[in-house]
Amino acid sequence: MAKIGVFVCQCGNNIARTVDTAEVAKYCGEQDGVVHVEDYKFMCSAPGQEMFKKAIKEKGLDACIVSACSPKMHEATFRNAAEAAGLNPFKVEIANIREHCSWVHDDKAVGTVKSKDLTKMMIERIKFNKPLERYVMPLTKRALVLGGGIAGIQAALDLAQAGVDVHIVEREPSLGGNMARLSETFPTLDCSQCIMTPRMVEVQNHPLITVHAYAELEQLSGYIGNFRARIRQKAKYVIDDLCTGCGECWEKCPFSTESEFEMGLVKRPIIYIPFPQAVPTVPVIDNTECPKILKDKCGLCADVCGPDCIDFTQQDEIKEIDFGAIIVATGFQLMPNVYREYGGWRPPHMTPKKLTAKQRKALPRSDAGRLVDVINGLEFERLASASGPTGGQIRRPSDGKIPEVVVFIACVGSRDCNKGVEYCSKICCMYTAKHTMLYQHAVHHGKSYVFYMDIRAGGKGYEEFINRAQDEGAQYVRGRVSRLTKKGDKILVKGADTLTGQAVDVEADMVVLATAMVPQGDSEQVAQTLGIGYDKHGFFSEQHPKLMPVESSTGGIFLAGACQGVKDIPETVAQASATAAKVLGLFSKDEMMRDPEIAIVDQEKCMNCWDCVTVCPYLAISRVELKDRNGNFRKWAAEVNPGLCQGCGICNTACRSKSIELMGYTNEQVYAQITAFGGDII
């Protein structure tokens, strides 16, 4: 006979207000197997827990139910208390009579009846609870950082300085990410590259950091503490160890294509480093453009290369490396092609499809339908950057003229449910203010207008920064822009000032769009490779929005920077350091303990349809061959990897033959729980 203790918590008045806890305790005391009941004001308080431990010891309880708040809150508290009192922690269950009962009902009679039912269901259920033991798993103390922007760099440096072996995988030829593109940063206007490049060099020189530039993560297997990554090192056609970075090759290369780093504002050679301070300073050959690779013509770079490090026969290389933890820092992009495809900003007669032959002729051929001088924020950064294509002089892309009037439009794509994303991109108010300042500093007689919806400047020194921008001459107009049209060599901006209720027309030389920040184009694919959750926009989901903001939904994978949600640089760096702290916490032990609430397979019953393999979001289920005692193949069956399984239970529902059970939530437990509530419905 079970010896069950039931502990009903009043939670101050939180539960007691709508539940007669004494009545619930009395009712529970009458149930089969219940030998001890308590009704107390705060079960989670120190005296409450003492009472709980004392009852276990004195009455020799073999299972306990705490009727209180959500198990999310105090399940761990009472399980630990039970362990301290010598009871297996998995013989403790919570009946949630607060969130599921008192907080959702007004009527005390209803609340009391429901609390009785919920607790009774747990009483019947706990009779089938088995004592479970935690698993001990091995741990590889090496971290993988995905993405070499400021988030990845910060996380890698923090980890390496604490003595952890770190590998950074960066898909571009150089570290740096989007921050390397910025000219100056708000709210202090310090030069982005000046604060960024020392970090990049530090990464390169750190003995514990290995940089895999121009490489991508192809596959990830394993689980927390024991991941195995398959990294594809794309062919650079340049031998890393020999290259001195002298620059002979990229200076002599006779061919060119649009520079990705410079946002397509200028051309770059086919053998290239993205920007002069690139780390590592090893050029790569763009194999989609190089005539030597495509049709065996040219090869000039190999001729001029002193150390003879160019190898046109190089192939992609696959590296398999084991890691214990992964930090995902893949960053963001600006909503792509917003000026080309963002319908709202194209008057109907200017869209490429609807142009008349005459209109099309009037436009420059390659830019049909596009107002060339409408640029996005990152393009403006490059124009304003001292190392950018114009050497820091702000010149408009179409004819190189210094713009006299510049219109900045905020919230392009952001806060727009119809054509863009519904969230606020958060950094645009600040960088637009910064842009007006950079422009005013470069063009003293220039005039800048900012069309905005609201100014959101919540941050240290941010509001002051906006005020400073306005003091320095930026004209802020509260209202949206309805259309941009070409007028001679200018752009006619038709907008409204909603504070005065008047239409505002500005003839601008250049328009800068504060385009929405969105995740990288392939973020969903990356999430699927990693097996982590993502939201409808493609941002990676954190485990808990408040209490676990840097953990992904998969154990051992952490999120840093803008891949998780829109962020500015200080927040990104803070989050990156937070992930490093989490990884160090994980690596502080020599082995890991895992909760035993995972799925197990009854392999004899398994009919190997592999539906569980298909549905498992954590790739935790594999196919194994069962052998007889002579080693002959007998049958196939599914097997759960206890390290990977997160106990979500999806496989349980997919399994028609009921061959998979979740420990702690077994069929018998759940069935007992359901039938305790209402066995006879039909």
Partner 1 sequence: MIEQIRNQARKLLEDGDVDVVIGYAEGSDPSRTTPVFIRKAKDVDKLIYDPRCINSLPLYLNKRHEYTRKGWKKTAIIGKGCDIRAIVQLIAENQLKRDEIYILGVPCEGQVSHPEKWDGSLHDGNRATKCIGCDVMTPHETDFFPGTKPDVDRSSPYEVTSPKVANLMELELDKRFAFWRTDFDRCFKCYACREVCPHCSCNVCITDETTPSWIDPAAHKKGVFSWHLTRAMHLVGRCTGCGECTRACPMDIQVDLFNQRMKEVVQESYSYKPGYSLEDKHPLITYQVDDREDFIK
Question: Counting every residue, how long is the chain?
Answer: 682
Phi, psi angle pair for 556, to nearest 5°: 85, -5
Nearer to partner 1, 402 or 650 (CB): 650
Give the nearest distance from C-beta 132 to partner 1 in angstroms.
18
Q: Which is nearer to partner 1, 398 or 541 (CB)?
A: 541
Please enumerate in sequence order all residues whose Cβ is within 8 A of that of 272, keeping only pairs 6 or more positions apart, or say none. Answer: 173, 250, 253, 259, 283, 284, 286
Q: From 20-28, 390-398, 500-508, 598-606, give the range in contact with partner 1 by CB under 8 A.
A: 598-606
Among 372, 607, 626, 648, binds partner 1 (CB under 8 A): 607
As a whole number of angstroms, the distance between CA 644 and CA 425 comes to: 35
Burial 417-454 (b: 16+ CB within 10 A, else e): eeebbebbbbbbbbbbbbbbbbbbebbeebbbbbbbbe
Shortest spacing between CB 128 and partner 1, in angstroms: 9
Residues with Cβ within 8 Å of 397's Cβ and at least 6 positions away in sequence, in order, are: 265, 372, 373, 375, 379, 383
Tokens encoding 229: 């990554």
Burial environment of residue 54 by CB neighbours within 10 A (0 to 12, 13 to 18, 19 or more): exposed
Pick from 103, 135, 255, 610 the residue near partner 1 by CB under 8 A.
610
652 phi, psi to nearest 5 deg? -60, -45
Between residues 357 and 681, which has the closer beta carbon with respect to partner 1?
681
Facing residues of 8 across strands? 39, 67
Cβ distance to partner 1 smaller for residue 42 or 128: 128
Q: Please count the helices (runs of H) and the strands (runs of E) in the chain.
A: 19, 36
Of the residues 104, 605, 627, 677, which one makes contact with partner 1 according to CB under 8 A: 605
Q: What is the dihedral of CA 192, 278, 274, 411, to 10 degrees?
A: -20
Q: Is 682 in the site for partner 1 (CB under 8 A)?
A: yes
What character string, x for contact with partner 1 (CB under 8 A) and - otherwise, covers 545-584? ----------------------------------------
- 303, 399, 454, 604: which one binds partner 1 (CB under 8 A): 604
Q: Would you say 315 or 528 has its CB closer to partner 1? A: 528
Q: Which among 101-109, 165-173, 497-505, 603-611 is the span making contact with partner 1, rule CB under 8 A? A: 603-611
Contact pick of 132, 608, 648, 649 for partner 1 (by CB under 8 A): 608
Q: Which of 249, 325, 606, 663 binds partner 1 (CB under 8 A)?
A: 606
Residue of 2, 110, 615, 648 interacting with partner 1 (CB under 8 A)? 615
Chain residues 500-529 in contact with partner 1, contact rule CB under 8 A: 524
Strand order in the sheet with 548-552: 209-213, 165-170, 142-146, 325-328, 557-559, 548-552, 542-544
- The site for partner 1, by CB under 8 A, has a size of 22
Q: Is residue 614 within the footprint of partner 1 (CB under 8 A)? A: yes
Nearer to partner 1 by C-beta: 498 or 614? Answer: 614
Tell me how far the alpha carbon of residue 134 is from its chain's centroid: 29
209: contact with partner 1 by CB under 8 A: no
Comparing CB distances to partner 1, the nearer of 417 and 682 is 682
677: part of which helix (H) or strand (E)?
Answer: helix 667-678
Give, as ranges, the residues between 630 and 659 that touch partner 1 (CB under 8 A).
654, 656-658
Residue closer to partner 1 by CB (options 500, 657) is 657
Contact set for partner 1, span 5-44 (CB under 8 A)? none
412 touches 345 (CB < 8 A): yes
Q: How far is the CB of 540 from partner 1 (least distance, A)?
A: 16
Alpha helices in 558-633, H assignment, sequence order: 569-587, 611-615
User: Of the listed pieces 46-54, 417-425, 563-571, 607-615, which binds partner 1 according to CB under 8 A?
Assistant: 607-615
Instruction: Determine, following the binding rule CB under 8 A, whether residue 628 of this chain makes contact with partner 1.
Output: no
Minimal distance, residue 243 CB to partner 1, in Å: 42
User: Nearer Cβ to partner 1, position 201 or 674?
Assistant: 674
DSSP 188-251: TTEEHHHHHHHHHHHHHH-TTEEEEETEEEEEEEEETTEEEEEEEE---SB-TTT-----HHHH
Alpha carbon distance 236, 249 (integer Å): 13
- What residues line the site for partner 1 (CB under 8 A)? 524, 604-611, 614-615, 654, 656-658, 667-668, 671-672, 680-682
